[in-house]
Amino acid sequence: MRNIFIILALVSCIGFIVQGSFLRDVDAKTYAEHSGAGKTGLVAASVVTSAAYFPFKAAYAILGGITSGLTYGVTMAKESETAHRIATKAFTGDWYIHPNILTSHEELNFSGPDDK
């Protein structure tokens, strides 16, 4: 059973990396345009890839929260804006992979809003 889970996780990760490496010239249908079976497949793929993605996002958020807290504490609140920016980048963004990300109609936003 454990081997099956490891193989499934590896295939999901490889599929996610390969999907992200192709150009976006494909005219794929959105999630809403798929048939019932297509939607079911996209939701299943979303659940599997989200299961592999979530631990990385959670670790990023935890480390970002620790870094933000340390920044705030070490600088004695003089760099509270920097601490807030670190926390915002760590805790926002996508926490799961939506089916439209799998069809390339949305982009995966791992680290929240861009600083501008």
Pick the range with the lowest mean pLDDT from 29-38, 40-49, 74-83, 90-99.
29-38
How much is the pLDDT for 116? 57
Using the predicted structure, report yes or no on whether residue 83 has a pLDDT greater than 60: yes
- From the list 105, 109, 100, 98, the residue with the least C-alpha distance to 24 is 105
Using the predicted structure, report yes or no on whether residue 85 has a pLDDT greater than 90: yes
Residue 90 · residue 65 · CB < 8 Å: yes
pTM for this entry: 0.70
The CA distance from 2 to 25, in Å, is 38
Pick the range with the lowest mean pLDDT from 3-17, 76-90, 95-109.
3-17
Q: Count of CB atoms within 10 A of residue 46's CB?
A: 19
Is the backbone of residue 113 left (phi > 0), alpha (psi -120 to 50) or beta? beta
> What is the per-residue pLDDT across 10-63, written as a single tens digit (0 to 9) for each?
888 777 776 665 555 556 788 788 888 888 988 999 999 999 999 999 999 999
Instruction: Tell me the domain boundaries of the chain.
Output: 2-102
Mean per-residue pLDDT over the chain, rounded: 86
